[in-house]
Structure formats: structure tokens, C-alpha cells
Amino acid sequence: MHVAQISFFMDPARRSPEQLLDSWHSLVDIAASVTTTGARVSVVQASAVEGRLSRAGAEFHFIAPGAEGVPLSRSARFVQLLHALDADVFHVHGLGFASDVARLAKLEPRTPILLQDHADRVPRFWRRASWRSGNAVARGVAFCARAQAEPFVQAGLLAPHTEIFEIPESTSTFRPGDQAEARVTTGVSGAPAVLWVGHLDENKDPLTVLDGVALATREWPGLQLWCCFGIAPLMDAVRAKIAADDRLRGRVHLLGRVPHERVETLMRAADLFVLGSHREGSSFSTIEALATGLTPVVTDIPSLRALTGEGRVGELWPCDDSNALSKALCAVAARPTHELRARSLAHFEAELSPSALGARFLAAYSKLASRTVPGAAFA
């Protein structure tokens, strides 16, 4: 089977193909996962700089749309490449490119289209008609958790014939390593050492996490929290909370933005992974944590339930509930570390590894390719 994975999203920073692949790990990881099945994968990416690269067994084609404002799907180079690839399935990243997807279906009407959600939101009312026309030509849509499809179904944005697949958003190439060595390398300490990887913003909710950590110190006075983050609109509030609480001062370490490879080493050094998200399309950091054997203590939201096997690995806690977080941290910290790591690694290999993800996508592609779907779109 030959799969064309297509991304109509244009990088605002207008980086080169090499820079894009170094920065957008999931673009490579998703393609590479499918190549583990023996399928051929061609990735077509909108880009300010044209080029062609090979990575992880997949071919990456970077196509410039042409004139300013012209969508990629109407580029002569895109149309030429599409015909040359002669793919069996189109896998389109994102749900917000309705006109491009409709154009894609007109160019190759016999080729099934799978859309993949990447934390997309239901659009404003006045944009829904165009979304319906684009989504109507897709035979399937993949969400990290099936529950994430419900807002789109309720808004009438998915056609009756559209198959919904529950597939993790990506995988990870992170690997476990020696914890003692990683602690020496990173300087991480704590009993337990808890790691946060996420923005300091309202959605990730670091303030609730700090409250939960403070409460957990009653049972675990050696607990240390290590925080990696990118954007930080709540930085002032986070610092003020730490400064005002004796249980947090000297215990919370704000590392800021760190290189991606450094995150892997930090995860090897830590004992637990914590996240306070109210909403996640998926969670790359949770997937990466599981890949290193780190145990997640994360919020009970659809995508994180799916990634943890409905909480079979680690602990889930309700959003905004610092008491529940404290109890979850204490419960997990009391379990034998080697058992926790073994459980996380086994779950990753079975459900989230490149081979596991690739198998899920291949099953979806094969099912869509075998289906006959009514040609009429819905209004």
C-alpha cells in the first residue's frame, strides 16, 4: 500500500525542509510508524522552501503553493506530484482545511481520504458550512479518543458515512535509560522526583498542580518538582505562589525551555510525570513519558484516558482538584518503582510505539480503501 500523508499547514516561520523535520517531530514520527508495516509513505508538506528529503523510510516532498494566497491544493506542482504519486490512500493532517480537502477529492475522486485531528476545535457557526463540504468527502476521521469526535458530530460537521477511528495522535522515539546516570547528567533529585513538561498557561493549569504538590509533601517531604515549559503567561502567578508557600520554596525548579533531547534525559531521571491539562488533542509529552518508562499522573480528560488505557497505567485525577492530585501522587509514589516502569514500558510498546501506531493506521487505511461510500455530499 502507498500512503500519501498531506499537510496543508504552512509554517509561519518559513523554515527550510531540514529545519521543519528537526522541529516537527510528529511529522516524521507518524510517517515512520506507518513504514514499520511495510507500507510506502510519501509526505507532502506545504512549505515556503521547496525540497525533497528521505527520513525514517519515508519520502518528504516540500511544495510551495506559488503565488501569495494561493492554497497548496491549487498549485500546479502539487497537482503534478499528486498524480505522479498515485497513492492508495490520502491521510490529511488537521480538520481545518476543508477547501483543500474538497479539491483533493476532485483531483483524485477514487482515492479514500482519512483526516487526522490535531487538537482542532469546532469552528464558529459561520464557518461550519465550508467545513461540512470538506469533511463530507472524507471516508474517515482519526481522533486520539472517540469522545473527541462528539462535538463535531453534534455540530453536524461529520457526514453520516464517515468512519471514526480512535488512534493516538503520534508516537515517540524516546527510550528508557539508566535513572542514576540521568540524575547525574541533569542534576534532578527528589523522592519522588516529579516532572512537568508543558506550557505555564490556563489550560495546563500549573497553579492547581502546585497546590497538589504542596499537599503531597505531607506524606512525601522529599518530593521535588521539575518544570520544563515553553510559553509562560502564568509565570508571575507561578512564582508568586511558590514564594508564598513554605512547602514549595526550594522544591519547585523552573527549568524553562530545554532542547528536545534534554527532555528525554529528564524523563529518565524522574520518577513521576504530572500534567494538569483541561484540554488536549493528544499529549506528546505524555506519550514521551511512557516511552521512557515514566509513570503519568495526569488529568481525567478523553485524550489522556485513551493514552493511559483508561487509567490502567499511572493515575487519573479530575481537573481543578488539587486534593485529588495530591492523593494520586502519594498513591503512585508508594508503589515499587521497577514495577511502575515496567508497566509503563509494556503499555507504550503495546499501544503507542511506532509499530503499534503504524498497525492502527494501516488497519484504518485498509478499511477505508475497501469501502464503497455514497458520492453525494451532505449540506
pLDDT at 72: 86
Which residue numbers in the chain have pLDDT < 70?
67-69, 372-379
| 212 shares a domain with 141 | no
Structural domain contains residue 378: no
Structural domain contains residue 375: no
Structural domain contains residue 150: yes
pLDDT at 373: 55
Q: Take residue 149 and report the three cell numbers written for it.
A: 469526535
| 197 shares a domain with 336 | yes
| 364 shares a domain with 317 | no
Structural domain contains residue 379: no
| 308 shares a domain with 279 | yes
Residues 115-160: tens digit of each pLDDT: 999 989 998 888 888 888 888 899 999 999 999 999 999 999 998 8
Structural domain contains residue 233: yes
pLDDT at 372: 63
State the residue range of the domain holding 310: 179-352
Structural domain contains residue 144: yes
Count of domains observed in the chain: 2
44 sits in which H/E element: strand 40-46
| 133 shares a domain with 262 | no
Structural domain contains residue 131: yes
pLDDT at 67: 61
Query: Which residue blocks in 76-228 are alpha helix, DSSP H?
Result: 76-85, 98-107, 128-135, 150-154, 179-186, 206-216
| 159 shares a domain with 214 | no
Helices 206-216 and 322-333, packing angle to 10 deg: 50
Classify strands 252-256 and 224-228 as parallel, antiparallel or unpaired. Answer: parallel
Phi, psi dihedrals of residue 106, rounded to the nearest 5°: -70, -35
| 198 shares a domain with 156 | no
DSSP assignment, residue 278? S
CA distance 140 to 95: 11
Q: Omega into 336 within 30° of 0, i.e. cis? A: no
What's the CATH number where 313 sits? 3.40.50.2000
| 344 shares a domain with 255 | yes
Structural domain contains residue 198: yes
| 363 shares a domain with 342 | no
Q: 240-249: which pairs have CB atoms within 8 A and are 24 or more residues apart?
A: 241/207, 241/210, 241/211, 242/210, 245/210, 245/214, 247/213, 247/214, 247/217, 248/210, 248/213, 248/214
| 195 shares a domain with 289 | yes
Which among 261, 267, 277, 256 is positioned nearest to 195, based on CA atoms? 267
Q: Which strands make up the sheet holding 163-166, listed edge to edge? A: 51-55, 58-63, 40-46, 2-7, 89-93, 113-116, 140-143, 163-166
| 145 shares a domain with 12 | yes
| 237 shares a domain with 164 | no
CA distance 205 to 79: 44
